[in-house]
Amino acid sequence: EVQLVESGGGLVQPGGSLRLSCAASGLTFSSYEMNWVRQAPGKGLEWVSYISSGGTIYYADSVKGRFTISRDNAKNSLYLQMNSLRADDTAVYYCARDSPTSASLDYWGQGTLVTVSS
Amino acid sequence: YVLTQPPSESVAPGQTARITCGGNNIGSKSVHWYQQKPGQAPVLVVYDDSDRPSGIPERFSGSNSGNTATLTISRVEAGDEADYYCQVWDTSSDHPYVFGTGTKVTVL
């Protein structure tokens, strides 16, 4: 069974940094594209970042230059380094796996809450 | 690329709910749908316009043509009350994943 478990969320002051992790199990992690998707309180889903199995990376404009996605295939883990955090980065952050057969997200973690506030 | 959904939809138990997702020439793209219940992660319920992942009831179906994609929920149950999001992969962009604005389905 595929499991994705996020960690690393918490309360951080504006301008601060945080590193999110996503531990994957039940899949050959190195073979899959992975994503971070966030959801601000009471708002819709917002795609944040993508990393392919080969290392191709994309970012949403809202986080480009501040967030860095990475992966460690040996540890079956996905990361999101978040710097220069702002109040509007407050959200639940989900890691999600690309489906191998369609451009959809077929497995999601339960999310980790990031709150940016002074 | 922008995907527009109605904010809300109300439906009586046993009836049919239809949730639309509007986008420019969306019929040329593959559309995927997610269900999200309060406090839970999204769940993929339809992919590639009309296919269902394993474990998703046949009551969930989809279609896509022109400028509108539609998620149809037949014989609606109380447990179908949730937010629903459409999503496409925008191949022309380096922001590949685009989500719709979301529709809150209320079962009366």
Which residue of B95, B101, B103 is the best one to mutate when testing the A interface, meaning the one whose CB has the most A CBs within 10 A?
B95
User: How much is the pLDDT for B18?
Assistant: 97
Provide the mean pLDDT of chain A: 96
Which regions of chain A are under pLDDT 70? none
| Residue B32 pLDDT class (50, 70, 90 cuts) | very high
Query: Which residues, including other chains, have CB under 8 Å from residue A24's CB and lie 6 or more apart?
Result: A2, A3, A4, A34, A76, A77, A78, A95, A97
Residue A49 distance to chain B (closest CA, Å):
8
Residue A74, CA distances (Å) to A6, A68, A85, A114 in order: 17, 19, 29, 26
Give me the residue from B53, B83, B96 closest to A50, CB to CB. B96
Tens of pLDDT, residue by residue over A74-103, are 999 999 999 999 999 999 999 999 998 888
The answer to whether B102 contacts A44, with C-beta atoms less than 8 Å apart, is: yes
User: How much is the pLDDT for B93?
Assistant: 73
Residue A104, CA distances (Å) to B33, B100, B105 in order: 9, 13, 22
Residue B65, CA distances (Å) to A54, B27, B56, B87 in order: 33, 4, 23, 15
Residues B32/B47, Cβ–Cβ less than 8 Å: yes
User: How much is the pLDDT for A11?
Assistant: 97
Q: Is the pLDDT of residue B91 over 90?
A: no
- Nearest Cα neighbor of A4 from A23, A19, A21 is A23
